[in-house]
Amino acid sequence: MSQEHNMRRVTAIRNGTVIDHIPSGQAMRVLEMLGINKGTSVPVSLVMNVPSKKMGTKDIIKVEDRELNQDELNRLALVAPDAHVAIIRAYSVAEKLTIELGDEIVNVVRCTLSNCITSNLREPLAHRLKIFSRSPLELRCHYCGRPQELDELANNVL
């Protein structure tokens, strides 16, 4: 099945954001990490487990009438680091964005160590995970230094 066919599974959007090349099964988590899963009134289309030449299968999300900014997209570094993002204006791709992994992931997820000081959610300082290694991705808590299990982290989205 072609790329075009995948994209046509849902209607083309006039304005908004398309997030492509999300690892299969991660679309719901992407919505969660972007805060689009609740309290949002914009139309959202979601395609899961469609064929992909590069990935085997993948998920795609289209968010209408909302342009995600770079900071919001960077939140996806943990679950969809290779996602392609297109900002759509008047049915055309106006901008292409890639997810950037900085030196730190701030206030996206909290440390997985239950005894970390940041597990008291009343503590006001930012949740900070440092990029210890990029390939393979290894994150460590800025405060307690604990290496993070990436699977567990997905359950600790703020």
Contact positions toward other proteins, by CB under 8 A? 111, 113, 115-120, 122-125, 141-147
Work out the end-to-end distance of the chain between its first and last CA atoms, rounded to an integer number of angstroms: 37
> Would you state the torsion angle of the CA atoms of residues 106, 112, 113, 116, taken in this order, to the nearest 10 degrees?
30
Q: How far is the CB of 75 from other proteins (least distance, A)?
A: 22
Q: CA 52 to CA 39: how far, in whole Å?
A: 31
Based on CB atoms, which residue is closest to other proteins, 76 or 111? 111
Between 45 and 119, name the residue whose CB sits nearer to other proteins.
Answer: 119
Minimum CB separation from other proteins for residue 117, in Å?
Answer: 4
Secondary structure class of 73 (helix, strand, coil): helix
Residue 6 buriedness (CB in 10 A; 0-12 / 13-18 / 19+): middle
Between 36 and 111, whose beta carbon lies closer to other proteins?
A: 111
Rounded to a whole number of angstroms, the minimum distance from the CB of residue 104 to other proteins is 13
- Give the shortest CB-140-to-other proteins separation in angstroms: 9
